[in-house]
Amino acid sequence: MRGSLVSLLLVVVFVLTFGVTLDSQATPRQSNSRSNSAANSGANDSQTLQALLREVRELRQDLRTATVASERAQILLTRLQAQQQAVASAQREVDAARTQLERTESRRNNIESQIKYYSDQDNEDSTPDASKRQNLDEQVKSMKELLQQTEPQRDTFQGAESRAKDALQLEQSKLDALQSELDQIDRALANLASQPVN
């Protein structure tokens, strides 16, 4: 009886010892498994954070691009308004020079018509009276002098119109360039807005 009790006690001690040994060997494996799981979780978190950081940077870049484009568009709009006024002013100069030239041309045409009329009357058939023909001849000479006086005026107004047209063309090309820049900004903003959000 005593021998069997000792044997039983030895078996229990062996089982306990063996169980403790197995448990001590299992614990590092579970610990490794837990640390691997934590490492994988940490790596996933790091990748997620990197992706979020990348997205925030892209959003900041898009916002900066949109802000700069908006500010440039505002500046260009102000310049565009000023340039439109410059074009309108240049157009008024062209119109004024053209009006002066047209008046001078009209005056010259009237004088030429009068010269032709008096010249046609200055003959014996139309005006038999010699003193009246003399008077008509003097009037024709006077009209021809007047016509000569309008020559420099016509040249002046032709030059003024030509210069005003050149100035208008220059101001219009500046306006077209500003409009083109605005169109480019508009297209850039439209492209930015149409890009898909990931």
Distance CA 83, CA 191 (A): 28
Q: Which two tokens stand for residue 183?
A: 């169109």
At residue 33's C-alpha, the angle toward residues 29 and 36, to 5°, is 135
Whole-number pLDDT of residue 156: 92
Query: Is residue 179 domain-resident?
Result: yes
In this predicted model, which residue has the larger pLDDT, 38 or 140? 140
Q: Which residue has the tokens 């898009």?
A: 62
User: Is the model's pLDDT at 18 over the cut of 80?
Assistant: no
φ/ψ (deg, to 5) at 144: -65, -35
Query: Is residue 24 domain-resident?
Result: no
Mean pLDDT of 163-190: 90
Among 63-67, 111-115, 139-143, whose mean pLDDT is lowest?
63-67
Count of domains forming the chain: 1
Q: Which residue has the tokens 């498994």?
A: 33
User: Is the model's pLDDT at 52 over the cut of 70?
Assistant: yes
- CATH number of residue 72's parent domain: 1.10.287
Distance CA 130, CA 113 (A): 23
Query: Is residue 10 domain-resident?
Result: no
Whole-number pLDDT of residue 129: 74
Whole-number pLDDT of residue 35: 53
User: Is the model's pLDDT at 19 over the cut of 60?
Assistant: no
Evaluate whether 147 touches 115 at the Cβ level (below 8 Å): yes
pLDDT interval class at 138 (50, 70, 90): confident
Whole-number pLDDT of residue 137: 82
> H helices within the chain, ranges in order?
2-121, 130-194
Query: Is residue 75 domain-resident?
Result: yes
Mean pLDDT of 36-48: 69
Mean pLDDT of 90-98: 95
Radius of gyration of the chain (CA): 51
Tell me the torsion sign for CA atoms 6, 12, 15, 19.
negative
CA distances 108 to 5, 7, 115, 143, Å, are 150, 148, 10, 10
The whole model's pTM is what? 0.58
Query: Is residue 98 domain-resident?
Result: yes
Query: Is residue 164 domain-resident?
Result: yes
Query: Is residue 34 domain-resident?
Result: no
Q: Which two tokens stand for residue 36?
A: 């691997």
Query: Is residue 158 domain-resident?
Result: yes
Q: Count CB-CB contacts under 10 A for residue 84.
A: 14
Mean pLDDT of 128-133: 76
Tell me the residue type at 165.
K
Whole-number pLDDT of residue 90: 95
Mean pLDDT of 115-141: 79
User: Is the model's pLDDT at 158 over the cut of 70?
Assistant: yes
pLDDT interval class at 20 (50, 70, 90): very low
As a whole-number percent, the residues of the chain with pLDDT over 70 amount to 75
How far apart, in Å, do the first and last CA atoms of the chain sit?
81
Domain containing 66: what range? 50-194
